[in-house]
Amino acid sequence: MLPYALLAGAVLTSLNVPGALAAAHRANRALHFVVKRNTSASVTVDVPISAPSSAYTVGRDLVGLSIEGDRWAEWVGLVEKNEYLITLLENLADITGQPPNIRVGADSQDHTFLNQSVPVATATFPASSTATPYPEASNVEVSSAYYDLSRYLPKGTHVVWGVNLLSNDTDNAVAEAQAITSTFAKGGASEAAGVVLDAILIGNEPDLYANHGYRLSSTWTPSAFVDQWESFAQAIINATGLNPQATEIWFGAMDISSNIASWAPFSPENLFATGVLNSSFSPYIKTYSQHHYQSSVCSDVSGPSAEIGTFMNKATIRSNISLFDPDIAYVKSNGLAYIFGETNSISCHGYAGVSNTAAAALWAIDYTLQAVVHGISKLYFHDGIGYKYNWIQPVYLDRSPLDDSPASLPAHIQPEYYAPILIANFLGNALTTHITELAIPTSSDASSYISGYAGYNSGSGALERAVLVNLNPFLSTNNVTQADRPSTTVSLSLGTTDCPTSINVRRLKIGYADDTSGLSFGGISYETSDGKPSGKAVVETVKVAKDGTVSVVVSDSEAVLVAFEK
């Protein structure tokens, strides 16, 4: 028996839904933030000194990376490892003690076929265009060596691999699964490198197969999908001896939420009604994977609701995530974890001037932590070579990701990479952390642009850190100098019992929200040719006054991490 399990599903949502989610958090008075903006507005925010019972528990592997599989060999390296990518992943491991989880596949997995005569991989791509400079491959042929490249990932990395469901070729899916499990089995190349297979994902966004002409809309029902999924899963289990105690089969991988009326047929409720959770496959199904993007330019390259001011809007972020509340509650009531198995800013590779800017870093911080307090346990941010919304462009590019014009771009990070850096520092190296959102009273203007979260020791429940995000867009086009940049003073008012004596503050420094480079966190930049951190750490230490107060100024388009010291 091999130590693996299977994943079922992956749903995609590419929506921008207006309206704010009203915060409903129990006040546990002890620590307060008083927020002032230009001395005209103030608000007191209660911050529990110990973790509320309503806090959510997440692992240090909260934030992972989803990688388009068609150019996997370029991501990790072919003859030798891609040191640039590995360094950037190890930067995160240095903070949390564990590399980010990696999911490989996405759209490409449903166009991939095993061919052992191929040295590693060969792919056929559609023509590039101004709107899509780097399209996904229309056909990918790979040998076992393609999956063996997982060995180049940092030791301790947990991986999810996808197999092809769309082609309806069971033999091909089984051959892919055998190649995958072989490299992670005892003595396999990836196992020897200390890389772990967490799950196999059968198909990518199967709820959209009929929309794209791959299945008949009249017959492609939840029941038909589950029947086909079970057939593939059984064949894979029989061929590989998959051990559900070690490896899952993710279920879901759907694209649309159940409470969007036109897509209700592929809701978790309807999928589970087929009896799949009561079948022999139940031990393998531990995770439900949903795909979600805050907005989309798939059919409108002008970017509907994709301007920075709308994109990084606090209410927009909340309304997008609250959309999934019924699904999350239902899935968790059935004993499964609910994750965003593929996510990012704007679907169809992002939108130039938004997804590749500092605004995306601020958005991703608030979006990720907001997802946590809605019960989402992991998020995999999707990247593909040349995509606009990437954390990382891992190789040299000879065409611009923005408009397909000729370019000469060395491997580099994009601003969104700073989001997992800050979140990793927020979580630290503990296995788990309790997280709660800080309720900003709606009577204050600050409630529309300040977000706050507190993190607690999962053992003692003691308050350890807080994140504050100012989502007001400070843009280069506003003709406002840095000297006149608006800011909000956050005055922390602490009780006198068991009170911290000081705070340490590190800032995600951003020139303008529409900047595409020049960011730093705590004085450290990752915008180096080798991916290694550079710069001198900048940590502001502020003592708590005798009356239990201490203040932090948060500029528009800035995030801060506060650590509490006793």
> Residue 44 pLDDT more than 90?
no
Contact 181, 196 (CB under 8 A): no
- Architecture of the domain delimited by 431-565: Sandwich (2.60)
Higher pLDDT, 394 or 27: 394
Radius of gyration over alpha carbons of the chain, in Å? 23
What pLDDT sits at residue 265? 87
What pLDDT sits at residue 295? 87
Taking Cα atoms as reference points, which of 160, 158, 162 lies closest to residue 195? 158
Q: Which single residue is written with the structure tokens 């930067």? A: 91
What pLDDT sits at residue 255? 63
State whether residue 536 is helix, strand or coil. coil
Amino acid at 530: D
What pLDDT sits at residue 253? 67
Whole-angstrom distance, CA of residue 340 vs CA of residue 65: 11
Whole-angstrom distance, CA of residue 470 vs CA of residue 490: 11
- Over residues 489-537, the pLDDT tens digits come to 888 777 678 888 899 999 999 999 999 999 999 999 999 999 999 999 9
> Residue 5 pLDDT more than 60?
no
Least confident range from 108-112, 120-124, 193-197, 264-268: namely 264-268
Output the pTM of the full model: 0.93
Instruction: Report residue 12's pLDDT band, with 50, 70 and 90 as the boundaries.
Output: very low
What pLDDT sits at residue 20? 29
Higher pLDDT, 291 or 254: 291
Q: How many CB atoms lie within 10 A of CB 119?
A: 12
In 203-313, at which residue ranges do the beta strands (DSSP E only) sit?
Answer: 247-254, 287-296
> Residue 256 pLDDT more than 90?
no
Structure tokens at 280: 């022999």
CA dihedral of residues 304, 307, 313, 318 (deg, nearest 10): 30
Whole-angstrom distance, CA of residue 287 vs CA of residue 328: 11
> Residue 57 pLDDT more than 80?
yes
Structure tokens at 89: 């992943």
Residues present in the chain in total = 566
Least confident range from 293-297, 300-304, 437-441: namely 300-304
Instruction: Report residue 40's pLDDT band, with 50, 70 and 90 as the boundaries.
Output: very low
First to last CA, the chain: 50
> Residue 54 pLDDT more than 50?
yes
In 411-536, at which residue ranges do the beta strands (DSSP E only) sit?
Answer: 412-413, 432-437, 450-457, 463-470, 487-494, 502-509, 520-521
Instruction: Report residue 250's pLDDT band, with 50, 70 and 90 as the boundaries.
Output: confident
- Characterize 27-37 residue by residue with b for buried, 16 or more Cβ atoms within 10 angstroms of its Cβ, and e for exposed: ebebbbbbbbb
What pLDDT sits at residue 300? 60
Query: Mean pLDDT across the stretch 307-322?
Result: 94
Contact 85, 392 (CB under 8 A): yes
Least confident range from 93-97, 382-386, 406-410, 445-449: namely 445-449
> Residue 199 pLDDT more than 50?
yes
Structure tokens at 559: 């995030």
Whole-angstrom distance, CA of residue 182 vs CA of residue 254: 28
What pLDDT sits at residue 140? 99
What pLDDT sits at residue 26? 26
- Over residues 346-398, the pLDDT tens digits come to 999 999 999 999 999 999 999 999 999 999 999 999 999 999 999 999 999 99
Contact 55, 385 (CB under 8 A): no
The residue ranges of every structural domain in the chain are 5-25+59-426, 431-565
- Architecture of the domain delimited by 5-25+59-426: Alpha-Beta Barrel (3.20)
Whole-angstrom distance, CA of residue 402 vs CA of residue 378: 29
> Longest Cα pair distance anywhere in the chain, in angstroms?
74
Whole-angstrom distance, CA of residue 109 vs CA of residue 202: 9
Query: Mean pLDDT across the stretch 150-165?
Result: 98
Query: Mean pLDDT across the stretch 16-24?
Result: 30
250: left (phi over 0), alpha (psi -120 to 50) or beta: beta
- Over residues 541-564, the pLDDT tens digits come to 999 888 877 888 999 999 999 999
**C-alpha pair distances (Å), 316 with each of 21, 310, 390:** 9, 7, 21
Whole-angstrom distance, CA of residue 168 vs CA of residue 21: 41
Least confident range from 18-27, 78-87, 438-447: namely 18-27
> Residue 11 pLDDT more than 60?
no
Amino acid at 145: A
Whole-angstrom distance, CA of residue 487 vs CA of residue 453: 19
Taking Cα atoms as reference points, which of 455, 526, 4 lies closest to residue 236? 4
What pLDDT sits at residue 441? 78
